[in-house]
Amino acid sequence: MKTLEEKIISFANEKCQMLTVKELDRAFFTTTELEDFFHIGRTQASRAANNLVNQNILFKINTRPVLFSLKYAFEEKYNLSVVSEYNSLSQLISDILDTPSETVFEKMIGYEGSLAESIEQLKTAVYYPGNGLPVMLMGETGVGKSYFVQIMYQYMVKANLVEENAPFITLNCAQYYNNPELLSGLLFGYAKGAFTGAYENRKGLLEEADNGLLFLDEVHRLNAEGQEKLFTFMDKGNFSRIGETKDRQAKVRLVFATTEKTNVFLQTFLRRIPIQIYIPTINERSILEKRQIIEHLFKKESVIIQRSIEVTPRVMNILLQTMYTGNIGELENTIKYTCGSALSQSSSEETIQIKIKDMPQKVYEKIEAQWPLVNVGGDNFFFSKEGHVTEVSNATNELKKFMQHMNVVFEQFQKDTPYEIKQQLYQQVIKFIDELVFQEMQTNQVALEKFILSTMQDIFREMDDQNKVHYDGNIMLFLSHYIYSYILKGVQIIEGITPALKLFIRQQYKIEMRVLQKLLPEIEKRLDIHFSEVDQLLFALFFATLESSERKIELDALIIAHGYATASSIANVCNRMLGDVTFTGIDMPIEATIHDISKKVREYIDEHLVDQGLILLIDMGSLNMIYEELKQNVSIPLLFIDQLNTPMALEIGNLMQQGKSILEIADNMQDVIMPNVQVFQPARSKKRAIITTCFSGLGIAIQIQKLLYACLEGILDVDIIPIEFNELKEKGITEALSAKYDILSIIGTNNLYIPQVEFVYLEHIISGDGDGQLHKIFENLLSEQEIREINNRLVKNFSLIRVIDSLTILDTKRIMELVETCIQELEQRLNLLLTNARKVAMYVHVSCMVERLIRHSEITEFPDLEQFSFENQKEIRVIQDVFSVLETVYSVTVPLEEIGYIYNILYVT
């Protein structure tokens, strides 16, 4: 039996069914109405209503009498953050009207991610003059096409493109697939006596949707006649009811949805629909969006079953990693089943716990095979019946304890020198990092944390080497764990650090704060998160551990040069060869004035707390004048050297690493005779390199370089240098190249017969024994498995280049990945070891075959098809089974004739 409060919620929900701004007062009720409706006393009605306000279920308007309404209904309808109390109804109306129409899209998970392009297409359609442009939504079952249309309608209402109570009518054409006449009657209406059973005149949906929106789902079920009638309406805005000749008019915005390819429609119909929007599958969405969808569905279930739900991280990880062929619909059913199963076993509990055993059998069966039962770290997710999400976590206590220690240390040592304080803070930070990294290494990362770590690694790789910080694996692992455990889980640490400590960090960790000004916005953008002020200050302390442990050079050094990337290139080369971030490069435009350069140097001194001295290497005589301007504005020692090249910079870097003072470096450099490259050659192993060349020109050599880089990524760090064929023929391997690189091989199309360097024909790798050719190059560097992986990548990427110009419909990257999986499965199941030539043929043939099948241009002839079918039944069954994945993905059927040609590639010489 329902409680009084539950009855009031239902009562309020009924009130909000026809919610409009013009008649907003109808959505509210008073305690007097509650008294009359539920036959209760005034005090009881008032207490129950105000209790629901305190629970954030109702909100109220403090007028006389006080008005109450359902908070969720207003937030859902107007995408507004409704507060608990308003002073007047006009204040609420003002907030509703002032909310930008764009906020409607915030209801959609992925509105700034996977759905961003779809939303832009939607805007294009709705803002087109007149009735907008017809829209076709395309995507698999369960991706959310119907919800997308609801958002579209709400956006049009909010943007005043249609009236607030404008019709919004939906028809699923699949329900009338076997009765096209009835479907036409529903759409266009009919006159009395038009057919048997037409006993009265009846409006069609086009008339009912006048000045509104008509959504036709599963529109591919509409027959050719119905499509023709619709495109006539789209052209002229006129239509006739069945059984009459009178023209009627309606202004209707049309949205269609289909799960099929466009080839099932009349081309004359499709031409009238200029906006075709693809809604991605749940498996095509990012893992962050997938998690948001899962959390949304659990919140939804907790409200429906009126129980709080607690979900283990193991269950959440399985839900994140499962591939859903039925998309969001299948995921929702999985979560419904799981919640129902848990509820049936603990129906009397206020909180139900979701564990692996509660999941559907089809998911449960995959657990052992796909995700071994390892120690998955993390905390339980808690979804309250009011729709709130939290996590049952110890993370808050860990972080608060750490910050308490920091505050205590700072308070005890604040009378000491800044250096001593930083050393004490350093010890606390190192301890905190080590403990978390150790815990992290003992547990198996969940899918989301793996994604965060991968993203962080990408960001750090892209960060400029000149940031004065050496990044290592531990700091990335720690920061990823911090983001996952604290930022994403909403751990509140606003009051964690005392004001005095905050001020100290800002004043004493300026270099780290400067690095974070570049780094944190990029992380926020990539991971869709927000860092608080305290997060930023803590990150400065974390980064200071790298600074303290890695950088021991007290002097600073700047390389300043005119031209694009000149200074930064020299700085980066020197930093790599010295094994430390010693130089910072500043690239100046050719037209830069002395004042511009002086300003840059002063900014660097201020931002990097330069206090021991600054060495400036400059590239031309005109820059000498910089000293005259700078010496008036800085109070630190400056050493200017007005010649600039890499050997000189390396010598200066070596002296800096030896701890020489600025005066000692000046004395040393006065005795140096320039140039003398050999003196400065670093005593460390040379870097490996492969040279690419081609008789056809440097352009092809560069293409080979790109191909090889893609194949070697993540396996071997090697420079690949494209060189002009004639230059290599005339000069051979120059001394400069020999001094810097260990040349592994030359790969090209014509052998130059250069002594002591292995030449490998690209054609022999692609068409012949790829593993054997690559073995010549990498036999002492890589394992057999790694060489095989490079070979497979080379074949795949070379095939991609060949098919990319042949395909006009397909996403080449996607089809190549699918074909790669098919080739690997064929080799395994048919016990084959395909040559590279056969693999290339498979990639090209199958990719083009799929495009032909989509275009209905399949091959229809094969020699002796009946005999082939009889003699090779086993192979045919395997090929059909392996390529069924392509049939599912692209909605095609691979005919026997095509299978015959695939068989020939595999077996026939």
- How far is Cα 122 from Cα 445, in angstroms, rounded to an integer? 38
For residue 426, the surrounding DSSP H or E stretch is helix 418-442
Omega prior to 499 cis, within 30 of 0 = no
pLDDT bin (cut points 50, 70, 90) of residue 371 is very low
Give the β-pairing of 380-383 and 389-392: antiparallel
- How far is Cα 309 from Cα 359, in angstroms, rounded to an integer? 14
Whether the pLDDT of residue 682 is over 60: the answer is: no
- How far is Cα 909 from Cα 904, in angstroms, rounded to an integer? 8
pLDDT bin (cut points 50, 70, 90) of residue 368 is very low
Digit-coded pLDDT (tens) for 542-571: 888 764 334 455 788 888 887 756 777 788
Give the β-pairing of 135-138 and 252-258: parallel
Q: What is the side-by-side order of every strand in the sheet holding 275-278?
A: 168-172, 212-217, 252-258, 135-138, 275-278
DSSP code of residue 749: S
How many alpha carbons fall within 13 Å on the CB side of residue 641? 25
pLDDT number for residue 703: 72
- How far is Cα 363 from Cα 406, in angstroms, rounded to an integer? 46
Across the chain, how many H-helices and E-strands are there?
Answer: 39, 22
Highest-pLDDT range among 720-734, 776-790, 877-891 = 877-891
CB of 645 closer than 8 Å to CB of 611: no
DSSP code of residue 348: T
Those residues with Cβ within 8 angstroms of residue 68's Cβ, 6 or more apart along the chain or in another chain: 12, 28, 29, 30, 31, 49, 52, 53, 58, 59, 60, 61
Determine whether 361 is exposed, middle or buried from the number of CB atoms within 10 Å of its CB (0-12, 13-18, 19+). Answer: exposed
Those residues with Cβ within 8 angstroms of residue 383's Cβ, 6 or more apart along the chain or in another chain: 295, 298, 299, 301, 302, 308, 309, 310, 311, 389
Those residues with Cβ within 8 angstroms of residue 700's Cβ, 6 or more apart along the chain or in another chain: 694, 749
- Which of 695, 692, 727 is CA-nearest to residue 706? 692
- How far is Cα 206 from Cα 213, in angstroms, rounded to an integer? 9
Q: State the Cα angle at 11 between 10 and 13, rounded to 5°.
A: 65
Those residues with Cβ within 8 angstroms of residue 437's Cβ, 6 or more apart along the chain or in another chain: 474, 477, 478, 481
Strands of 642-731, DSSP E: 687-693, 719-722
- How far is Cα 422 from Cα 406, in angstroms, rounded to an integer? 11
**Both structure tokens of 684:** 């460390």
- How far is Cα 770 from Cα 794, in angstroms, rounded to an integer? 9
Whether the pLDDT of residue 621 is over 70: the answer is: no
For residue 398, the surrounding DSSP H or E stretch is helix 395-413
The percentage of the chain sitting over the pLDDT mark of 90, rounded to a whole number, equals 18
- How far is Cα 616 from Cα 609, in angstroms, rounded to an integer? 16
Cα-based torsion angle of the residue sequence 120, 122, 124, 127 in order, rounded to the nearest 10 degrees: -130
- How far is Cα 44 from Cα 51, in angstroms, rounded to an integer? 11
Those residues with Cβ within 8 angstroms of residue 578's Cβ, 6 or more apart along the chain or in another chain: 650, 653, 654, 657, 682
**Computed from CA positions of residues 552, 554, 555, 558, in that sequence, does the dihedral angle turn out positive or negative?**
positive
Beta-bridge partner residues of 354 = 311
Neighbours of 145 (CB within 10 A): 22
Helix %, strand %, coil % for the chain, to 5?
A: 55, 10, 30
pLDDT number for residue 98: 83
Of the ranges 333-347, 524-538, 571-585, which one carries the lowest mean pLDDT score? 571-585
- How far is Cα 839 from Cα 846, in angstroms, rounded to an integer? 11
Hey, what amino acid is at 839?
Answer: K
Digit-coded pLDDT (tens) for 372-411: 443 444 567 777 765 555 544 455 667 777 887 788 778 8
Q: What is the mean pLDDT of residues 461-466?
A: 56
pLDDT number for residue 375: 41
Digit-coded pLDDT (tens) for 511-552: 788 888 888 888 888 887 888 888 888 888 888 876 433 445
- How far is Cα 887 from Cα 903, in angstroms, rounded to an integer? 18
pLDDT number for residue 753: 84
Q: How far apart are the first and last CA of the chain?
A: 78
- How far is Cα 307 from Cα 352, in angstroms, rounded to an integer? 7
CA distances from 418 to 319, 513, 544, 904 (A): 49, 17, 14, 77
**Both structure tokens of 407:** 């505050």
Q: What is the mean pLDDT of residues 163-169?
A: 90
DSSP reduced 3-state for 81: coil
List helix spans (H) across 804-871. Answer: 812-829, 836-854, 865-871
- How far is Cα 515 from Cα 470, in angstroms, rounded to an integer? 12
**Both structure tokens of 561:** 């040069």
**Average pLDDT over all residues of the chain:** 81
Strands of 124-243, DSSP E: 135-138, 168-172, 212-217, 238-239
Q: Three-class SS string for 601-629?
A: HHHHHHHCCCCCCEEEEECCHHHHHHHHH
- How far is Cα 513 from Cα 541, in angstroms, rounded to an integer? 9
DSSP code of residue 486: I
Whether the pLDDT of residue 23 is over 60: the answer is: yes
pLDDT number for residue 803: 62
Those residues with Cβ within 8 angstroms of residue 101's Cβ, 6 or more apart along the chain or in another chain: 155, 158, 159
Omega prior to 65 cis, within 30 of 0 = yes
pLDDT bin (cut points 50, 70, 90) of residue 495 is low
CB of 12 closer than 8 Å to CB of 154: no
Q: State the Cα angle at 527 between 521 and 532, rounded to 5°.
A: 55
- How far is Cα 277 from Cα 290, in angstroms, rounded to an integer? 20
pLDDT bin (cut points 50, 70, 90) of residue 365 is low
pTM of the predicted model, to two decimals? 0.50
CB of 613 closer than 8 Å to CB of 556: yes
- Which of 814, 820, 895 is CA-nearest to residue 860? 895
CB of 339 closer than 8 Å to CB of 305: yes
CB of 209 closer than 8 Å to CB of 165: no
Digit-coded pLDDT (tens) for 212-242: 999 999 999 888 888 888 888 888 888 888 8
- How far is Cα 2 from Cα 13, in angstroms, rounded to an integer? 15
Widest Cα–Cα separation across the chain: 111
Whether the pLDDT of residue 641 is over 50: the answer is: yes
- Which of 206, 218, 336, 227 is CA-nearest to residue 272? 227
Residue whose token pair is 């893609």: 710
Residue 57 or 472, more confident: 57
pLDDT bin (cut points 50, 70, 90) of residue 196 is confident
Those residues with Cβ within 8 angstroms of residue 406's Cβ, 6 or more apart along the chain or in another chain: 425, 428, 429, 497, 501, 541
CB of 132 closer than 8 Å to CB of 211: no
pLDDT number for residue 841: 78
